[in-house]
Amino acid sequence: MEELILGLELLYGYDTSYDIGALKELSLLVESLSGVRIAQNKPVVGEENFTRESGIGVNLVMENPLAMFATHPQVTGRKGKIVLGKKSGKPSIVYKLKELGLGDLGEEDMAEVLGEVKRRGNEERRLLSDAEFAAIVASQRKKERT
């Protein structure tokens, strides 16, 4: 239903009288009451719908979301999300450093951190948490001092 509401509102200018920004919250309520999980990549309301891992996707998500998504994430009360894993690139690392307030890295440290993120993402077959990323950065900075 949320795809229809969004399409009518944004593509045809039809006022459905629904609060588009509340669609995610409504979908979570329906999920809770029905016991049916929403696909993470479901358009409009999926938890990972506005999430990107690869380098070029990161730039687009942050600088021009409409190049990647049918709507701006904020239309539905969401925001773009960057995750780290085996497909991450330098833009992902730069973004996460800034997002987490971890400061900048020099080129050599950047390459080492990126390599470790990719290695762990590939070996563990999953995305890294922000805490794991912060630990990798801290470890690299510690190596740098010794």
State whether 64 and 102 are in the same domain. no
State whether 95 and 75 are in the same domain. no
Query: Which of 82, 110, 133 is at the close of a domain?
Result: 82
103 falls in which pLDDT band (50, 70, 90)?
very high
Give the mean pLDDT of 76-92. 90
Q: What is the pLDDT of residue 120?
A: 98
Give the mean pLDDT of 105-117. 97
Number of H helices, E strands in the chain: 7, 2
Q: Is the pLDDT of residue 15 over 90?
A: yes
State whether 122 and 57 are in the same domain. no
State whether 105 and 131 are in the same domain. yes
Q: What is the pLDDT of residue 39?
A: 94
Q: What is the pLDDT of residue 69?
A: 79
Residue-range definition of the domain harbouring residue 114: 90-145
Q: Is the pLDDT of residue 57 over 80?
A: no
Q: Is the pLDDT of residue 116 over 90?
A: yes
107 falls in which pLDDT band (50, 70, 90)?
very high
Q: What is the pLDDT of residue 32?
A: 97
142 contact partners, CB below 8 Å, separation of at least 6: none
Q: Which two tokens stand for residue 142?
A: 């510690």
Total number of domains in the chain: 2
State whether 118 and 70 are in the same domain. no
CA–CA dist 65, 67 (Å, integer): 5
Q: What is the pLDDT of residue 109?
A: 96
